[in-house]
């Protein structure tokens, strides 16, 4: 019997989208034939070797309405004329063409919403754009037969709005034996503060963490790995504040390479603010990457992150977002090595539960009836 084919759509950079890679790998291992359609820019990383098939649509526009119009138009025609049994749409920015094709071709559609999309700061500050996205979401979301998302907060928000039945599949890594990179000479003897992720945007604490370094001793070294819309601002302020010798910025790297950097850190940071609905409901996968690397987490107490840190006692929640207060809490922790080592030990215990081997069972239960 031929395998059922699932066509997966995602507008993100597939090479760094660990959630899509994990889910597609699990679906392929279940017995589906999986094909991913993603987006490609001139500077995109090369595709890795995956268990599933992957193709990318070359796009030229990077910002505003045109980037979404170009990708979604090209995606619509790809889906219309591609052989498939099922459609899996990732986030609202791929949902419209997937829904249209699902109706025209009478194909089952699955929807994975990675965030509370219309709550992102980029839309909050542009009411017209938000109304346009909300228009499409209001008309499509209630008609979706299978929906899952990243955490309970996002689930509850969408269920309040649309009454759909929604499952939760968290962004947790698979258990793996990672060989850390050789520590760079200029990192030796330093306390390494790490913020990683390709979404280092306004409201996510990247610039605040840079300013915090001004109030920490010279043996603290700050490392950013990834990218985002605030990346250039951080680079400029690093120079203006004369912190170039204490702050390192490493552009986005493939997930396998990133996993080798993370264990070199002393502390891992996730500093999403409370102003954005999307960030308020966020559960960044970087906290699980830190935990699996044995790195205690320093975080703002947004609900989902606070719940993980308190449940597993694997880091600290900041009592204030003022940069001097952040610096003080960091120093207090690092000067108390007994407490630091206790938190570090707890990350190992937490990683045994917060792993893809456990989480994927919920995904398997969703898709098993459609094999």
**Do the Cβ atoms of 123 and 82 come closer than 8 Å?**
no
- pLDDT of 41 reads 86
Q: Residue 362: which residues within 8 A CB-CB, separation 6 or more?
A: 167, 168, 169
- pLDDT of 319 reads 92
Helix, strand or coil for residue 282?
A: coil
CA angle 306, 312, 315 (to 5 degrees): 60
- pLDDT of 42 reads 82
- The pairing of beta strand 220-226 with beta strand 108-113: unpaired
CA dihedral 309, 310, 312, 318 (to 10 degrees): 30
Please indicate, yes or no, whether the overall pTM of this predicted structure exceeds 0.75.
yes
Cβ burial of 215 (10 Å; 0-12, 13-18, 19+) is middle
- pLDDT of 246 reads 97
- pLDDT of 124 reads 82
- Averaged over successive runs of 10 residues, the pLDDT of the chain (371 residues) comes to 94 92 97 97 88 94 88 97 97 98 98 94 86 96 98 96 96 93 95 95 95 97 96 97 97 93 98 89 94 98 96 96 96 98 98 97 98 94
Domains of the chain: 5-172+356-370 (3.40.50.2000), 185-353 (3.40.50.2000)
């Amino acid at each position: 019997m031929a395998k059922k084919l699932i066509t997966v759509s995602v507008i993100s950079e597939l090479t760094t989208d660990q959630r899509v890679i994990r889910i597609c790998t699990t679906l392929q291992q279940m017995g589906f034939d999986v094909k991913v359609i993603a987006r490609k820019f001139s500077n995109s990383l090369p595709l890795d070797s995956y268990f599933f098939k992957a193709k990318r649509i070359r796009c030229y526009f990077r910002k505003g309405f045109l980037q979404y119009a170009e990708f979604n138009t090209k995606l619509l025609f790809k889906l219309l004329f591609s052989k498939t049994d099922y459609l899996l749409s990732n986030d609202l920015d791929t949902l419209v063409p997937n829904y249209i094709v699902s109706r025209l071709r009478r194909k089952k559609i699955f929807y994975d919403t990675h965030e509370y999309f219309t709550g992102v700061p980029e839309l909050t500050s542009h009411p017209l754009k938000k109304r346009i996205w909300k228009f499409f979401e209001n008309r499509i979301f209630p008609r979706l037969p299978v929906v899952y998302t990243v955490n309970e907060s996002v689930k509850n928000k969408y269920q309040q709005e649309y009454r759909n039945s929604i499952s939760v599949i968290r962004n947790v890594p698979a258990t793996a034996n990672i060989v850390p990179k050789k520590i760079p000479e200029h990192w030796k003897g330093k306390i390494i503060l790490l913020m990683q992720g390709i979404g280092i945007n306004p409201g996510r604490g990247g610039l605040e963490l840079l300013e915090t370094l001004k109030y920490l001793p010279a043996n603290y070294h700050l490392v950013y790995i990834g990218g985002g819309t605030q990346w250039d601002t951080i680079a400029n302020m690093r120079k203006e504040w004369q912190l170039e010798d204490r702050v390192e910025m490493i552009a986005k790297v493939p997930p396998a390479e990133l996993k080798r950097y993370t264990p070199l850190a002393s502390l891992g940071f996730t500093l999403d603010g409370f102003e954005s609905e999307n960030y308020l409901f966020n559960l960044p996968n970087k906290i699980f990457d830190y935990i699996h690397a044995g790195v205690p987490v320093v975080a703002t107490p947004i609900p989902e992150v606070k719940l993980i840190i308190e449940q597993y006692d694997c880091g600290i929640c900041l009592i204030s977002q003022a940069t001097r207060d952040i610096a003080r809490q960091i120093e207090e922790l690092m000067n108390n090595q007994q407490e630091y080592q206790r938190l570090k030990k707890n990350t190992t215990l937490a990683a045994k539960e917060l792993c893809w081997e456990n989480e994927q069972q919920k995904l398997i239960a969703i898709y098993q009836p459609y094999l």
